Amino acid sequence: MTFCALATPITHDEEHHDDVMTAVEKGLIKPYSALQHKVSQQLSARIIKVELNEDNGEWIYELKLIDNQNNIIKVEYQAQSLQMLNIKGRHLENVIRAPK
């Protein structure tokens, strides 16, 4: 009897997913739902793209948003604290909400 096992190689996406799950379990990353809540409190725009990147142990959410005037806004959040690190775009005065 002969057995042939085909191993499915782990893609970069699968490896990244495992890294993300481990980071969430360790508390290094806030979940996406918490990020959505934070964005809705701070910005008057809709999330259209999210990337999560790790660099030297620091996880960063990189977002692309669109406001009601179809302006594109790029925002970075530190994934553990959800502190806004950077924001770029046109007419930001119409997007940034006043703190409550």
Which amino acid type is present at position 13?
Answer: D
Lay out the sheet containing 72-78: strands in order across: 46-55, 58-66, 72-78, 84-89
Structure confidence by residue, pLDDT tens digits, 68-100: 999 999 999 999 999 999 999 999 999 999 887
pLDDT in tens, 28-71: 899 999 999 999 999 999 999 999 998 888 999 999 999 999 99
